[in-house]
Amino acid sequence: MKPLIKITDLHVSIDGKPILNGLNLTVNKGEVHAIMGPNGSGKSTLANVLAGREEYTIESGTVEYEGEDLLSMDIDKRALAGIFLAFQYPVEIPGVSNSNFLKSIINAKRKHQGLPELNALEMLKFIRAKLNAIEMDESLLKRSLNDGFSGGEKKRNEILQMTLLEPKLAILDETDSGLDIDALRIVAEGVNQLRSPERSFIVVTHYQRLLNHIIPDFVHVLSNGKILATGDRTLAEKLEVEGYDWIKESNSVTA
Amino acid sequence: MLEQEKIIEHLDAVFRDMESRLNGRAGSHLHTLHKASFEALRSTHFPDRKHEDWRYTPVQRLISPKYKLAEKKQQYNIAEIPELDAFKIPVINGHVILDGVDAALKSAGVIIRPLQEAMQISSPENISSRWLHTVMNTSNQAFELLNFAFHSGGILIEIPKNLSLSKPIEIQIIHDDPEISFSHPLYFIHAAEGSNVTVIERFEKNSTSPDATANGLINALTFIHLEKNAGVKHIRWQDLPETQSLVYKLAVAQSRDSRFESFAFDFGGDLIRNNIDVELDESNTYTSLQAGYLAKRRQSFDHQTRINHKMPHCESHELYKGIIDEQASGAFNGKVFVHPDAQKTNAYQQNDTLVLSSNALMNSKPQLEIYADDVKCSHGATIGQLDEKSLFYLKARGIDPQTAKHILKAAFLAEVLDNAPVEPLRNYIRSRMALDA
């Protein structure tokens, strides 16, 4: 089977400072990969580089997505090709209503697929159905995009967008940060409902607790911009108990 | 010969040509006004860039073309604003088309008089008439005098005491002449005690004519007088052809307990000079001036505001938000004067600008002069670019870069647009904005 995404020897820097130092990762269709690691290990950089964030410099390496060179694709084209980044810090944009924004992104995708745009009524019906699934209040649609949203509301809005866009590869960048336990459960359920043999996830997280709700197929430990250890969910449990120091010391481990 | 003299010499010929077509109306009130104003104009220099208030306006571009008076014209067509139900007053090439004035306006109680007639009513009780004479005899600004010297008979719109007009008045202003020409719309709006009205001034293209290729200048004057406890909402929407410029002056006088709100939206035209002067003659008034504009190409949009706090307990707000792109330039000069008697004044002013190209230019100058000691006054100005993080966020959801930029530009102007009255007009401006992204 051809992998959905294949990252080979990726080196990335920002302002001349190396962040990723020869990262390799292959994700097949339907798999859930968790990326864990201490602060500053490069987890968020990886998530942002895949989505196309421009502040980073690709020094070397390749990323193949469905057999194509992902790194040469424009940001919006990556999204249309099925890559979705759930932001760690979703941007607040006053003056753009959340509902208009959601309409725009749904219609951008439909246009790309050669489908007609949804009219206002169809759109509302479509969005409402997904709202209920993640217990999100409809009043958030009328407000400006993420403007004045609580941390939990912002993350729910990210998950809402993910369920509306049904990506092939969803990258969750510390989606658990700033969430209380109820919000965490709801967000995780949103993700679990989307799990399918056709959809893959890269779940970037600092803590193991999200992985109690989203059970990963693989857990990778990132340190100094490299994957130092790969295992199943028990690796995450071990990290929760023992911390990251043992991996940093042993340099390369297979659990 | 000096540039100014050349201009006056040319205007002199235009003036004589205008007089030769008076057909027996010489000696009328209006003709007297025309003559007196032209004489005053002769000795008043047009401003140049050495003049502080005109430093950022390429005024040569405005005054150097050899304008003739735009011909009177009856045929016009202005695209309707969908779902807007308004009392229409068409003004073509400076002529109010009296036949085209919505007859329902009269039955709603509003009195419309040609200036000629309004000025002849000289009873001392007639506030409007006295006011007209005062205004016209005290001006010393070149462009105002130019208007008074060349206008083709404006109108006085009187909103009687305690009348709240159910629909807005839509004044539609068009300049349409194949030759290099100017026109001078002039109207006075008098809101009597306790009255309420919304006035839209719409500077538009004539949709039956091809887009104008010759330079045109609209030199418009609007006077609004609010009596005790009157409320006026005013919206100026400007989408002129690229070859036309606008010098616009709005002079407002407010009496006790009155409320005045003005919104200006500029998208079209070449050089736009927007002057607003507000005299707070009595206490406990409310004034709000807001504007949203998008300048491209070599457009130049210049906003000058002056609010004169003369009496205590008055409140004024200003919010000017603009986007300057390509080789365009913008200026904001907001003056607030607080006189010694104007204690408990509350004045707030803000000018925010997005400058989107390295060739675009914005000059922002707040100017507060405060001579009272118990007041609350503040001002602020920001100049920035589109937020990169917001752009990334939108693109990361599949929105193409062009659309993403447009969404952020519209969001920037939304703060002003969302505040404006008359929903169909708001929607119209939004859809017009979408075309210009």
Among residues A125, A181, A183, the alpha carbon closest in space to that of A159 is found at A183
Q: Is A53 on the interface with B (CB under 8 A)?
A: yes
Say what percent of chain A tops pLDDT 90.
Answer: 73
| B346 Ramachandran zone, left/alpha/beta (phi>0; psi -120 to 50) | beta
Residue A195 and residue A214: Cα distance in Å, rounded?
A: 10
Please tell me which of the candidates A76, A94, A105 has its beta carbon nearest to residue B411. Answer: A94
Among residues B166, B161, B174, B169, the alpha carbon closest in space to that of B226 is found at B161
Q: Could A105 and B399 be called an inter-chain contact, meaning their C-beta atoms sit closer than 8 Å?
A: yes
How does the average pLDDT of chain A come out, rounded?
91
Chain A partners of B388 at a C-beta cutoff of 8 Å? 54
Contact of B278 with B260, CB cutoff 8 Å = yes
Taking the CA of residue A155 and the nearest CA in chain B, the distance in Å comes to: 14
Taking the CA of residue A47 and the nearest CA in chain B, the distance in Å comes to: 12
Q: Whose structure tokens read 């609007």? A: B222
Taking the CA of residue B158 and the nearest CA in chain A, the distance in Å comes to: 37
Is A116 within the bounds of a domain? no
Give the domain extent around A191: 5-90+167-254
Q: What is the pLDDT of residue B336?
A: 96
Q: Could B407 and A104 be called an inter-chain contact, meaning their C-beta atoms sit closer than 8 Å?
A: yes
- Provide the pLDDT confidence category of residue A11 given band limits of 50, 70 and 90: very high
Is A156 within the bounds of a domain? no
Q: What is the pLDDT of residue A254?
A: 46
Angle, CA of A142, A146 and A149, to the nearest 5°: 90
Interface with chain A: mutation pick from B399, B408, B409, B431, highest number of A CBs within 10 Å: B399
Interface with chain B: mutation pick from A75, A97, A109, A143, highest number of B CBs within 10 Å: A75
User: In terms of CA atoms, which chain A residue is nearest residue B395?
Assistant: A76
Taking the CA of residue B405 and the nearest CA in chain A, the distance in Å comes to: 12
One DSSP character per residue, B314-381 reads -EEEEEEEEEE-TT-EEEEEEEEEE-TT-TT-EEEEEEEEEE-STT-EEEEEEEEEE--SS-EEEEEE
Taking the CA of residue B318 and the nearest CA in chain A, the distance in Å comes to: 19
Residue B15 and residue B355: Cα distance in Å, rounded?
A: 42
Contact of B229 with B259, CB cutoff 8 Å = no
Give the ranges where B45-165 is alpha helix by DSSP (H).
Answer: 59-63, 104-107, 115-120, 127-138, 142-150
Q: What is the pLDDT of residue B123?
A: 58
Q: What is the largest CA-CA distance in chain B?
A: 71
Q: Is A73 on the interface with B (CB under 8 A)?
A: no
CB atoms within 10 A of CB B214: 13
User: In terms of CA atoms, which chain A residue is nearest residue B402?
Assistant: A76
Q: Which amino acid makes up residue B12?
A: D
Among residues B79, B69, B190, the alpha carbon closest in space to that of B128 is found at B190
Residue B321 and residue B276: Cα distance in Å, rounded?
A: 16
Asked whether the ipTM of the predicted complex exceeds the cut of 0.85, the reply is yes
Q: Could B396 and A108 be called an inter-chain contact, meaning their C-beta atoms sit closer than 8 Å?
A: no
At A177-222, the pLDDT tens digits run 888 888 888 889 989 999 999 999 999 998 888 999 999 999 999 9
Give chain A's domain count: 1
User: In terms of CA atoms, which chain A residue is nearest residue B387?
Assistant: A93
Instruction: Using DSSP, state whether B44 is helix, strand or coil.
Output: coil
Q: Could A75 and B395 be called an inter-chain contact, meaning their C-beta atoms sit closer than 8 Å?
A: yes
Q: Could B398 and A79 be called an inter-chain contact, meaning their C-beta atoms sit closer than 8 Å?
A: yes
Q: Is A172 on the interface with B (CB under 8 A)?
A: no
Q: What is the pLDDT of residue B125?
A: 57
At A66-110, the pLDDT tens digits run 999 999 999 999 999 999 999 999 999 999 999 999 999 999 999
Taking the CA of residue A98 and the nearest CA in chain B, the distance in Å comes to: 12
Sequence-distant (6+) residues with CB within 8 A of A129 are none
Mean pLDDT of A43-57: 95
At A153-181, the pLDDT tens digits run 999 999 999 999 999 999 999 998 888 88
Which residue numbers in chain B have pLDDT < 70?
1, 23-27, 122-130, 137, 211-212, 435-437
Is A77 within the bounds of a domain? yes
Q: What is the pLDDT of residue A240?
A: 81
Taking the CA of residue B430 and the nearest CA in chain A, the distance in Å comes to: 12
Q: What is the pLDDT of residue A22?
A: 95
Please tell me which of the candidates A85, A94, A96 has its beta carbon nearest to residue B407. Answer: A96
Instruction: For residue A75, give the CATH number of its domain.
Output: 3.40.50.300
**Residues, chain B, total?**
437
Is A52 within the bounds of a domain? yes
Query: What's the pTM?
Result: 0.90
Residue B409 and residue B135: Cα distance in Å, rounded?
A: 40
Interface with chain B: mutation pick from A56, A74, A83, A91, highest number of B CBs within 10 Å: A91
Q: Where are the domains of chain B?
A: 3-282, 386-437
Q: What is the pLDDT of residue B375?
A: 96
Please tell me which of the candidates A53, A112, A165 has its beta carbon nearest to residue B392. Answer: A53
β-bridge mates for residue B69, sequence order: B182
- Provide the pLDDT confidence category of residue A255 given band limits of 50, 70 and 90: very low
User: In terms of CA atoms, which chain A residue is nearest residue B393?
Assistant: A91
Query: Phi then psi for B149, rounded to 5 degrees?
Result: -80, -30
> CA torsion angle for B200, B205, B209, B215 (degrees, to 10)?
130
Residue B298 and residue B326: Cα distance in Å, rounded?
A: 7
Residue A171 and residue A46: Cα distance in Å, rounded?
A: 10
